[in-house]
Amino acid sequence: MVVIVGAGASFVGISAVHPPTAATASTGSVAPAADPPAFNMRKYTLDAPSSRWVVVDKLRPLNPRKYEPSDLVRVSIPRTFSATIRREANTALTLMNKEFVQSHPKYGLVVHSGYRSYATQKAVWDGDYTLTALPGYSEHQTGWAVDLAGKNGKCAIYECFANTTEGKWLAANSYKYGFILRYPKGMQNVTGYQFEPWHYRYVGTLLSIEMHNRNIKTLEQFFGLPNAPKYGVGGH
Ligand SMILES: [Zn+2]
């Protein structure tokens, strides 16, 4: 009993006093713990459509409007139609699908849509401003966005995809591979789009991990950009 009390008192004394004394002795001054380096919000431009951080929304059309990425590749994972995305996004998507399948052997991701050109977007635009972007305003035109489904086709391009094994895994894990869920639930006033649990945007892990750690859901909020619920003046 006496020994235990004595040991406890001694331990408290050491932990409270010893570290500052040691720091003073070894460095001559007590340096405060270094802050981690601040996140560089300007590491990549938000404006050029070739940038992995480009923000495209109803107030921010691609500039130039008919931009075409230079390094499109055919997606390496299964796809419903011939789909291309930018090389770096394809590398990340391939790794993401590989690790998903490793942990879920009966499942797999399928790309429903990748890059869409200005001309293609013009053809698919059906007048539904909440679901389909005007040509020149679609994130798909950057080559950084993919619409994903499961290979079983369950809830493909429907909101119930959020409740599937694939949809839940993507929502929880895509940030590790540099992807974000671009149109989260309840954010239509910010992003301009209703919940699209299938639409993933590649931004690179530097940003996707930072957004995850700070629990910020949209690019607009992260970068302090205006909400973009509707096309602005100069749009259509
Ligand atoms: Zn999409």
Condensed to tens digits (0 to 9), the pLDDT of residues 70-122 reads 999 999 999 998 899 999 999 999 999 999 999 999 999 999 999 999 998 88
129-141 residue pLDDT tens: 556 788 999 999 9
Domain boundaries in the chain? 1-34, 72-222
Catalytic-role residue among 68, 196, 210, 220: 196
Contact 229, 192 (CB under 8 A): yes
Residue 22, pLDDT > 80, answer: no
pTM of the predicted model as reported, rounded to 2 decimal places: 0.83
Banded model confidence at residue 5, pLDDT cuts 50, 70, 90: very low
User: In sequence order, which residues have a C-beta less than 8 Å from that of residue 121 and are 6 or more positions away?
Assistant: 133, 134, 135, 136, 138, 140, 141
Find the helix packing angle between 165-173 and 87-103, rounded to 10°.
120
**How much distance in Å is there from the Cα of 1 to the middle of ligand 1?**
68
**How much distance in Å is there from the Cα of 133 to the middle of ligand 1?**
9
**How much distance in Å is there from the Cα of 43 to the middle of ligand 1?**
26
Q: Percent of the chain, pLDDT > 90? A: 74
**How much distance in Å is there from the Cα of 199 to the middle of ligand 1?**
4
**How much distance in Å is there from the Cα of 6 to the middle of ligand 1?**
66
Distance CA 13, CA 68 (A): 66
**Active site includes 166?**
no
Cα-Cα-Cα-Cα dihedral sign, residues 95, 202, 85, 149 = positive
CATH architecture for segment(s) 72-222: 2-Layer Sandwich (3.30)
